[in-house]
Amino acid sequence: EAQVTQNPRYLITVTGKKLTVTCSQNMNHEYMSWYRQDPGLGLRQIYYSMNVEVTDKGDVPEGYKVSRKEKRNFPLILESPSPNQTSLYFCASRGSVGTAGYEQYFGPGTRLTVT
């Protein structure tokens, strides 16, 4: 089954304790991205990656890091989480235009609480 998986699904942590949210897709997609969803603000892009070793900032990258060492994986790293990073996080992937079209496939989400 074609899917984007994220782990963990729920995480409660304390300020300053480094954490990583993993994202993996099994569709051989080149493009992957991370979004955060907050009430009243919709979905905002954090980082995206066009391919292995190619990443770029989205609209709200402050406080986050990413890496893309393998095509299927795109982890999101919070090196020193703060309470304002409490949010619902989504990973998404998309194939190249002309093959899979423009559709982005989203993972199930990771609900992060930073106290």
Partner 1 sequence: QQQVKQSPQSLIVQKGGISIINCAYENTAFDYFPWYQQFPGKGPALLIAIRPDVSEKKEGRFTISFNKSAKQFSLHIMDSQPGDSATYFCAASIGRRYSTLTFGKGTMLLVSP
Structure tokens at 96: 């190249």
Kindly state whether residue 5 participates in binding partner 1, applying the rule CB under 8 A.
Answer: no
Q: Which x/- pattern over 12-51 shows residues binding partner 1 (rule: CB under 8 A)?
A: -------------------x-x------xxxxxx--x-x-
CB distance 113 to 58 below 8 Å: no
For the bound state, the minimum distance from the C-beta of residue 58 to partner 1, rounded and expressed in Å, comes to 7
Burial code (b: 16+ CB inside 10 Å, e: under 16) for 14-46 equals eeeeebebebbbeeebbbbbbbbeeeeeeeebb
Nearer to partner 1, 17 or 62 (CB): 62
Q: Which 60-89 residues touch partner 1, going by CB under 8 A?
A: none
Residues that bind partner 1 in the complex, under the rule CB under 8 A: 4, 31, 33, 40-45, 48, 50, 58, 90, 92, 94, 97, 102-104, 106-109
